[in-house]
Structure 1
């Protein structure tokens, strides 16, 4: 890392513009969260060789099951994000190198026996990542309720370091806004991050040769290429898709 930063120090500096030459401007201070996030993500992007794998998963039946659950349980609604959290947790059990961290000297891999999933939350002061613990075993309604509580806490008064520590992997969803794909930056010391965008309607041939429509969820997996190769990344996203298709994520 030191050698890399020394090499980067030889690059030309960013120009210091006086933007008032071009018109009226206003300067506003970055929030503490924005400054911390920027510093960490800047380091992560420089130090970690990112690759992003994109795929789509058919969630037509899952969305029907989720809607039926929410209609029957308005006090305990499930979001697509919490179902993705559960599917990711299940996939991590099959792929231990994704539930890992690279040692600081880069010579060994720490394999985690716990499955804690971080979920990126957008707040007025910047992005934070609360962690849902034991995400593969706890009742999914409990996970959904806790995520709501943590998101509300993040927006109202902020999260403690304990709320954000100990993640296995992070989910970052833009599905409530839109988009079809993006490149999420890895939340080091994790070795991968899963991005999701808005569910898309896609034409699909049915058994009679006619065209029907399916609900497809775009997924974007960014991974540390020092730890994970492209083939395993593709298999991992397929495993997440299989979990979403299995039909058992939404309680009966």
Structure 2
């Protein structure tokens, strides 16, 4: 027998959730053939068989959380399998006599045992039908069957509603006991579960994906562990838009990729990071790590939540290379084909809420990074050119959220002003690069 174990996935990933088994017990699998899909914090990974044989046993089901190195199934290298999982049928045949005893077995059963056996079977069937959602320990279920008590009527002292043996032992069958203090305690712990019984207030319960849970936990963690502040500025996008309008057709002909705004912002951010290196750092214990490379994360909205693929060595890439890489990463994110290597090691993040119409926001840090730049919607507004002249200009608010433990207000404002000035004079980006 060969064990199927959860392999090492990445340095920052220690567990995952089984999304689905692609093979069933009894199926024959070839070495290298896909066995199951594992959902991790960042991407979904398909695990392959390390040897050929029959999938003999599945130890973890879909939805179970598994740790790296944990055994989740067994493969019989000498077994003969089938496509329909026929290995399970002998178990069903072995159980058949329990539900349909033969006449020979009925004669051998003592008369005084038959009523008890029939009663237990009837009680089990009724209980399974009435209390399919009741959570109870095996000892509690056994005692309830012996006493002829419905588990639905037994109050639980457990804050999560699980029934235990002592709950059944203490139950005296009175209706008043169901209104004992144990029930309000349970209601306090699970108010939503109680409210869904109201047909006039319909609700739908959807299990959060592992990725969405991880996003939620990390966003809360960042806010609790960093001294996060946000500073704002606005950029006159006239020069960038004029340059893009003049060059976009030729740019596309030469590079087969469209000239967007993200390459301008990426170049401006890299130039500003070189002037303000603290924004390109992170805290590791009692040390401050200043990074001399520029791997810029670009936040992308995918079906299951926000992901941040990374443009590596953005300081060494041309506008066309940056645009091409961002386009490719965004497509992989939408198709759920991002690899772990696409998401790891960013030093700074850019997020663009403007594509959804956001006019202003305070982006949350992408830990352990200490800075994130938020782009917003370009909106034409009247701008004072001097004391006497006003013009309508395409303006964009930009926001820098930063960790005040590392970056002081002076550096944060200076960084944002540098980005603003570079974007308002886009030709200077070539000199800075």
Q: TM-score range by the shorter chain?
A: 0.7 to 0.9
SS in 1 for 2:407: coil
* 1:96 counterpart residue number: 277
1:37 and 2:215 matched: yes
Distance of 2:410 and 2:279 partners within structure 1: 13
Aligned counterparts, 1:130-141, within 5 A: 130-141=309-320
Distance of 1:250 and 1:91 partners within structure 2: 10
SS in 2 for 1:113: coil
* 1:215 counterpart residue number: 394
* 1:230 counterpart residue number: 409
Question: How many angstroms does 1:196 deviate by?
Answer: 1.0
Distance of 2:325 and 2:272 partners within structure 1: 21
Bigger drift between 153-162 and 169-178 goes to 153-162
Distance of 1:66 and 1:30 partners within structure 2: 41
* 1:16 counterpart residue number: 191
Count residues with an aligned counterpart.
Answer: 237
Q: How has the CA–CA distance of structure 1 residues 143 and 25 changed in structure 2, closer, same or farther, with 3 Å as cutoff?
A: same
* 1:7 counterpart residue number: none
Q: Is the 8 A contact 1:69 1:77 kept in 2?
A: no
Distance of 2:231 and 2:369 partners within structure 1: 17
Question: How many angstroms does 1:228 deviate by?
Answer: 0.7
* 1:153 counterpart residue number: 332
Distance of 1:249 and 1:54 partners within structure 2: 22
TM-score of the superposed pair, with normalisation by structure 1: 0.88
1:67 and 2:236 matched: no
Question: How many angstroms does 1:249 deviate by?
Answer: 6.7
* 1:8 counterpart residue number: none
Listed as ranges, the gaps of 5+ residues in structure 1 are 1-12
Question: How many angstroms does 1:208 deviate by?
Answer: 8.8
1:110 and 2:285 matched: no
Answer 1 or 2: higher relative contact order, Cα 8 Å, separation at least 6: 1
CA RMSD of aligned residues (A): 1.9
Q: 1:107-139 deviations in whole A, cap 9, x for unaligned?
A: 221000101100000011111000001112211
